[in-house]
Copies of this chain bind each other. A is one copy, B any other.
Amino acid sequence: MNAPVSMPSVLSIRPEAAEAPESGIVEVANYGRGREGLIPLWVGEGDLSTPGFICEAATRALAAGETFYTWQRGIPDLRQALARYHERLYGKPSDPERFFITIGGMHAAQIAVRMVAGAGDEVVIPTPAWPNFSGAITVAGARAVAAPMTADERGWQLDLDRLKGAVTSRTRALVVNSPANPTGWTASLDELSAILALARSRGLWIVADEIYARFAYEPALMVDGRAPSFRDVMEPEDRILFVQTFSKNWAMTGWRIGWIEATPALGQVIENLIQYSTSGVPVPHQRAAIAALVEGESFVAHQIARARRGREIVVGGLAATGKVELPAPPGAFYAFLKVKGVADSRRLAMRLVDEANVGLAPGTAFGEGGQGYLRLCFARKAEDLEETVRRLAPVLRAI
């Protein structure tokens, strides 16, 4: 985490706003943005722009004049398409009333956090973690409590006792991200059941971030070709809020469209929170999202195959330098690598921009346990990743 912003005290703004830290990812990305020939692997997006059939659905909607305000929960056709998609992916009946369209996964997270936590509350997050959850928790006036995971030669492991130990009387929710950004940790069904049992016994909400569910690489850990999900172990009355996005599966990061899946009993509350934050999602984007769900399976398969190949190149290539610790991640599309002998990964990330012309995110951006690590996104064409390894190797070897 970076330090809160300092500013003239005469401006006297609220601590929740002033204390929201600068994203350590954005900081480095801003440092290197626009450098000639840089390979940008710092943010969580691939190199493919959105497929034409998705863009064209938006273009058609614009041309048809769909430029007006719309349903705050999302257009019925998209909520319906999401229910069908979930039925295919998870093999269980679903319901359009469970889905609420948001301005990206971040907005889904903001709304989920706003529902479950505020002043005086704590939310527990296994770390290292995507920093934006703790950012949203801070902005909501609550406190993000880290439950550090452990890393060994097999990879990252959830320490369930540490998770239990982080829960206090003030805890209102657990954030569970599996497959995880940045570590690739992927919960087994048994782990999901254990987390759910903890949440039930302590009366906690679970905010479930399963946006990388389809990027899973270890058959022994998988269910029907995807990562295990809370949907595989939950009961309808369990208090779970799923936050989701079109960004990753369908290469739509820049569109800002995602969704919340929740019990329909929360429908009016979620509608109100959408109304008072963004007032809905552009209809052309919702039409594009329908195209993604209905016609996008071969593109998703292509993305997964590329990520699988990217993972091989990066894990193998960096291991060969002898300077990094990097067990192959079982899920998501990041290599979270520990550089031997490096104490300051933020400085190293800046140095790799300058000396290797490669953009990686510093582990310090991901909270407790991230120091000494770098995150590399391997959702990219093989040539770029091979070139990345070639550029990084000499710099790493010289450390």
Contact = CB atoms under 8 A, between A and B. Distances in A.
A55 interface: yes
A253 B69 contact: yes
A118 B14 CA distance: 7
B67 A17 contact: no
Contacts of A255: 67, 282
A106 B280 CA distance: 10
Given A67-B251, A104-B279, A114 B17 contact: yes
B14 A114 contact: yes
Copy count, this protein chain:
2
A176 interface: no
A106 B30 CA distance: 27
Contact of A271 (B22, B55, B65, B253): B22
Contact of A62 (B13, B55, B72, B277): B55
A: interface residue count bin:
35 or more
B280 A256 contact: yes
Interface string A240-282: 0000000000011111100000010110110111011111111
A265 B276 CA distance: 26
A184 interface: no
21 contacts: A10-B237, A13-B116, A17-B114, A17-B269, A17-B273, A45-B68, A50-B62, A55-B62, A59-B63, A67-B253, A67-B255, A68-B253, A70-B254, A106-B279, A110-B277, A119-B141, A132-B275, A138-B276, A141-B141, A255-B282, A256-B280
Interface of A: 5, 7-8, 10-18, 20-23, 26, 30, 43, 45, 49-50, 55, 58-59, 62-63, 65-72, 103-104, 106-107, 110, 114-119, 121, 132, 135-136, 138-139, 141, 203, 237, 239, 251-256, 263, 265-266, 268-269, 271-273, 275-283, 285
Ranked 4 nearest A-B pairs via Cβ: A49-B65, A135-B276, A50-B67, A20-B272
